[in-house]
Amino acid sequence: MFYRFADPGYLALLAALPLLALWYWSRQKKKGATLRYSHLGRIRQAAPSAFRRRHWLFVLRTLGLALLIVAFARPQTGVSGEEVQTEGIDIVLAMDISSSMLAQDLKPDRVEAAKQVAAEFVAGRRNDRIGLVVFSGEAFTQCPLTLDYDILLNLLQEMRVGLIEDGTAIGMGLATAVKRLQDSQAESKVIILLTDGRNNQGEIDPATAAQMAQAFDIRIYAIGAGTRGEAPYPVDDPIFGRRIARVRVDIDEETLQEVADQTGGQYFRATNRQSLEGIFKQIDEMEKTEIQVEQFTRYGELFHYPLAAGLLLILSEVALAGTVLRKIP
C-alpha cells in the first residue's frame, strides 16, 4: 500500500500560508481602536489571556485552509497487484506397473525410478491439471485430473507392482487416459506413457487407442523404459532365495513410435535413470503453460478526511469569533 496526490499542483498553495502569517503578525503591531474605562483593574487582569486567545482564531483559520488545500490535491491510497491469466495444460501420466518394471537397469528399479522422476515433474508444474493412470494386465485411474499436487504425489508414491493383474495392456492404459481427457477444455491435452514392454493383454490395442487420442486432439509422449540387451531382474528362487538374473529387454519401440507420431507427440528411449530424467525435462520444456501477468493499481480517495477536518476548523473559527472571542469595535 502507498499514498499519492492525484492533483499535487494544489500543494503549491501551502507556500502562501507563511505569507499569511507574516501579514497577520505585522497587522497585530498596528494600533487599533481604544476604549475608556472608569476602573482598569479587571481589564488589566483579563487583557493578556484574552489577547492570546484572539490568536486562536488565526491558528484555526490557517490550519483549516491548509487542510482544504490538501483536500483539493486529492490524497489517495493505492494498492498494487497483478492478474495472472493462464492457458493451462491437462496432463495424464500413464504408468506401467507390470512385474517387468522391477528390473534394475534404472536405479533402484524401473518402477521406483519412474515414480521419483514423475514426482519431480509434477512438483515443477504450475496451473496445470495432472492425473495418473496405472496399467499392467488391466488399467485404472489412480488419480483424476487435479490441481492438488499433494494428493497426486501421495497417490503416485502408492503406485507399485502387483496392484492389479500382471501383464502389459498398453492400449487399455492409453484408452483410460484418453477417457480422462476427452471432456477437457484445456488448450493443450497430453498423455505421457511410460512402459517397458509390448502390448499382450486388453481389449483395445495401442493403435486404436492412438486413434481415439487423435480424435480428441491429445498428444502422446511415449517413453520406453529399459536398457538395450539384457537387464538385471530379481528372481525368488525356492532353494537359494532371491537372486538377480539377466532377462532380455523387449520394448515394442515400433508401436510406441507409431502411437506418438500419429498424435503429434514424440517417442523417447530411457536406458538409465539419467536419461529418464532428461526425457521428462524435455517434455516439460515442450509443454510450457502460457502465463500472462497484467499489473494493476487500485486507488482509494482520501480527500474527504482533510476536507471535513478543514471545514470543521473554519466553522469553529467563525463560531468562536462571533461568540466567546468576539471582537468589540
pLDDT digits (tens, 9 = 90+) for 220-239: 999 999 999 999 999 987 77
Dist. CA 286–CA 273, nearest whole Å: 20
State pLDDT tens for residues 69-96: 888 888 888 777 655 555 679 999 999 9
Higher pLDDT, 55 or 11: 11
Statement: residue 112 has pLDDT above 90: yes
The CA distance from 91 to 31, in Å, is 91
Do the strands 230-237 and 241-248 form a parallel or antiparallel pair, or are they unpaired? antiparallel
Instruction: Output the pLDDT for position 102.
Output: 96
The pTM for the full model equals: 0.65
pLDDT of residue 166: 94
Q: What percentage of the chain reaches a pLDDT higher than 90? A: 53
**pLDDT band, very low/low/confident/very high, at 267 (cuts 50, 70, 90):** very high
- Of the listed ranges 10-24, 42-56, 163-177, 242-256, the one predicted with least confidence: 42-56
Query: Which residue type is seen at 172?
Result: M
Listed in sequence order, the residues at least 6 apart from 70 whose beta carbon sits closer than 8 Å to its beta carbon are: 11, 306, 310
Q: How confident is the model over 38-61, as pLDDT tens digits?
A: 555 555 555 455 556 667 778 888
Structural domains in the chain, CATH included, are 2-79+296-322 (no CATH), 89-288 (3.40.50.410)
φ/ψ of residue 148, rounded to 5: -85, 90
Looking at per-residue pLDDT, the higher value among 168 and 32 belongs to: 168
Q: Percent of the chain scored above 70 by pLDDT?
A: 84
pLDDT score of 192 more than 90: yes
Q: Is there a contact between 264 and 53 (Cβ–Cβ < 8 Å)? A: no
